Amino acid sequence: MADDVLTTGIAGHGAVRLPSVDVDSFNVELKDDEGFLGDRASKGAFRKILDDLRKPLKKNGEDPLGDKSTAKIAKSELDKVLSSDDIGAAALVHGAIEEFAHELAYVISRLLKLKAWTDTERIVIGGGFRQSRVGELAIARTDILLKAEGSKIDLCPIRFDPDEAGLIGCLHLAPSWIFEGFDSILAVDIGGTNIRCGLVETRWKKAPDLSKAAVWHSELWRHADDEPTREGAIKRMVKMLKGLIEEADTEGMKLAPFVGISCPGVINEDGSIAKGAQNLPGDWESSKFNLPASLVEAIPMIGDHDTAIVMHNDGVAQGLSEVPFMQDVERWGVLTIGTGLGNARFTNRRKEKDDGDGKKEKKKD
């Protein structure tokens, strides 16, 4: 069976125990009387807040952001407004940032009450919203609001570009033998709008903790524009991956026979998706569909070795890119603000190391 190939010697899909961390929780869906709490702190939620603030101004013909609909105003345009001479427009955007920060602080406070999130010391914020000045200000303001309420948790933006963090995080799904014999892997980041495939350099010899890992090259397909079938999406993904394999070969890279996949939803150990993939093209939650098995069938070998694949939740994968920078804390989490609000909580793994006298001591990975 394909699954035997996928999991031999490596972690199962959606595993809670990974080489560097234990995944305490991921893809939690909190609810209140108004619905899912994550919907209150998404990119769409910010747009709605801004739109609601503009409505009364539009009636009076005094909207400083003009006639363009909120949905069509790019993040870069809003960023420019913040530093423009138009004080009214800047104040309007700041007002939306303030209101969104209160919503995000509320969601985080509810999340921290969960048993799996107990004693969280730091939360990293990723996702597309973080890629703007507006997003950075909202994160900073949320941090201040939480501290004003007595919280000791630190909130910080994710270090890697959010478009690349999910790909880089896939390195932390790979077994240790990958890094000793190869210098790069294939990674796939699947989202409700885009699918991104990339060649990720480990740069393991420069930094064994993978802190210097980088995306060498990636290809983006905005599947939401094409509205493909599920099978069509898989074919396109395979074509992208095969193209990257050819590039790696041309460049003389030592590409590992490993593909890491970042995907929305709850990932079962066999690689099927239990729930949370409703924004993907076609039915990805069918018990008859298995993405890793489909990819292994299409790409059975990379170089001279059988292809190994591990798939995990996209919030987990994006958070894993932060592992090298979270060694000063023990328990930490990630929130990804995008179409929805992804989440994952981690505890750094400790390993036994010989102290030189034959005794074993516990040490953080």
pLDDT digits (tens, 9 = 90+) for 34-79: 777 778 898 999 999 999 999 999 988 889 999 999 999 999 999 9
What is the span of the domain harbouring residue 250? 2-17+164-321
- Reduced to 3 states (helix: H, G, I; strand: E, B; else coil), residue 216 is strand
Same domain for 298 and 207?
A: yes
Domain for residue 26, yes or no?
no
**What does the alpha-carbon distance between residue 332 and residue 343 come to, in Å, rounded to a whole number?**
11
- Looking at the fold, whether 295 and 168 belong to one and the same domain comes out as yes
Q: Answer yes or no: is 228 within a domain.
A: yes
- Taking each continuous run of H as one helix and of E as one strand, the counts in the chain are 11, 18
- What's 169-196 look like in SS3? HHHHHCCCHHHHHCCEEEEEEECCCCEE
- The candidate with the shortest Cα–Cα distance to 158, out of 187, 184, 128, is 128
Q: What is the pLDDT of residues 143-169, one digit of tens each?
A: 999 999 999 999 999 999 989 999 999
Note whether residue 239 is domain-resident. yes
Same structural domain, 7 and 63: no
For residue 244, tell me if it sits in a domain.
yes
Express as a percent the part of the chain with pLDDT over 90: 74
Q: Mean pLDDT over residues 230-253, rounded? A: 95
- Burial letters 250-271, b for 16+ CB under 10 A, else e: eeebebbbbbbbbbbbbbeebb
- In angstroms and rounded to an integer, the radius of gyration of the C-alpha atoms of the chain is 21
State how far the Cα of 14 lies from the Cα of 316, in Å rounded to an integer. 9
d(CA 201, CA 185): 7
Pairing type for strands 21-26 and 301-302 reads unpaired
Residue 183 lies in a domain: yes
Answer yes or no: do 172 and 150 share one domain: no
| Number of residues written out for the chain | 365
Check: CB of residue 25 under 8 Å from CB of residue 344: yes
CATH number of the domain that 86 lies in?
3.30.420
231 plus 172 within the same structural domain:
yes
Same structural domain for residues 8 and 48?
no
Do 51 and 102 share a domain, yes or no?
Answer: yes
Domain total in the chain: 2
Asked if pLDDT for residue 352 goes beyond 70, the answer is no
In-domain check, residue 205? yes
**307 and 178 in a common domain:** yes
Query: What's the CA gap between 22 and 267, in Å, rounded?
Result: 15
283 and 207 in a single domain? The answer is yes
The answer to whether residues 153 and 297 belong to one domain is no
Burial of 5 (0-12, 13-18, 19+ CB in 10 A): middle
**Residues 6 or more apart from 254 whose CB is under 8 A from it?**
181, 182, 183, 184
- Rounded to an integer, the average pLDDT of 211-226 is 93
Same domain, 168 and 134: no
Residue 288: which CATH number?
3.30.420.40
pLDDT at 355: 47
**Residue 150 and residue 272 share a domain:** no
